[in-house]
Structure 1
């Protein structure tokens, strides 16, 4: 998602700017999320798209935007770190919620959004419409963050192969 688009949406920025100023959130820049994005970029994408959908349907935009931003507030590489308590899909939402509570007050909806955003990979059913929105937007963003850069790489390889083939045939 274009960084300029969300930054130009002053209503959205007003909802999350206090969180973006927190070192705990800024630190997410240091972690790769889906191979080609940082955890902060991913979190902002999930937050902003979820906010826009919630706004369209007259839902709680503040809680959606804030919980969307905080849904992956954890500080480890999920590809290599393992836990005795369960899988990454189970552990990280609870860890993110605890970390979020350390930097801001969370309401019941925000906790549900953060803890349940891994539904389908876990069995905990979301309780609110906003939780479903963030859950599905998270999956959409994850796929897009991997597929778009990969499709560009595949296209470039195909173009290079085609160019070499044309050179060989000439």
Structure 2
């Protein structure tokens, strides 16, 4: 039978690994997408709800994290920079899609927002072809043309997974998220 001390050590090791994984992820964010994270428009996504009670900002961070984990677990060799930047910008539509009083309200948001997100992202950032493919095709099969690169497939899968958890309220709205504090 495991002693209390051994159980405590095992739990502490688990928490240490989780802490290190978070630090590594935030380091990757800072190295690859600091410009996005600190932009005024991306900060505004904290005030738009995506699924359930989850802000678009947190959803995009979760999709980026999940994309990195999928890439690592499957050994796909995707560009981490393109994964992170594409995931952060995949829902860069910059409006509250739940607001029926909004001008140009679209009942078919799922079909139209990838194009709007891509248009907004192009205005503010120099995008690679992979980043554009990620943003434009992340709603496949609603976007009839499937993704063309591995990175877009990974972000599409990560987005579906995170959206499912948020919609089923398995992943709840977290407290304050501080990006860029890990060294």
Query: TM-score range, shorter-chain basis?
Result: 0.7 to 0.9
* Equivalent-residue separation in structure 1 for 2:124 and 2:53 (angstroms): 27
Give structure 1 stretches of 5+ with no counterpart.
Answer: 152-170
Compute the displacement of 1:25 (Å): 0.5
* 2:116 maps to 1:134: no
Whose helix proportion is higher, 1 or 2? 1
TM-score by length of 2: 0.72
User: Secondary structure of the residue that 1:115 maps to in structure 2?
Assistant: helix
1:124 and 2:145 aligned: yes
Is the 8 Å Cα contact of residues 7 and 13 (structure 1) preserved in structure 2? no
1:22 aligns with 2:22: no
Whether the aligned pair in 1 keeps the contact of 2:165 and 2:171 (CA below 8 Å) is no
Range moving further from structure 2, 34-43 or 9-18: 9-18
Q: Give secondary structure in 1 for the equivalent of 2:131.
A: helix
Other-structure match for 1:73: 92
Map of 2:131 onto structure 1: 110
Distance 1:3 1:90, change over 3 A: farther
- What's the CA shift string for 1:45-103, capped at 9, x where partnerless? 01121123234421111111101000000122223358599831221111111111122
Shift of 1:108: 0.8
Q: Could you say if the C-alpha distance between residues 150 and 90 of structure 1 is closer, same or farther in structure 2, counting changes exceeding 3 Å?
A: closer
- For structure 1, which segment, 61-70 or 12-21, has the greater mean C-alpha deviation from structure 2 after superposition? 12-21
Shift of the 15–82 alpha-carbon distance from structure 1 to 2, 3 Å rule, reads same
Higher relative contact order structure (alpha carbons within 8 Å, sequence separation ≥ 6): 2
How far, CA to CA, are the matches of 1:70 and 1:13 in structure 2? 15
Rg larger for: 1
1:46 paired with 2:57, answer no
Unaligned runs of 5+ in 2: 1-17, 173-183
Q: Is the 8 A contact 1:36 1:149 kept in 2?
A: no
Report the Cα distance in structure 2 between the residues aligned to 1:40 and 1:113, rounded to whole angstroms: 17
Query: How far apart, CA to CA, are the structure 2 residues paired with 1:99 and 1:110?
Result: 13
Partner Cα separation in structure 2 for residue 3 and residue 24 of structure 1: 29
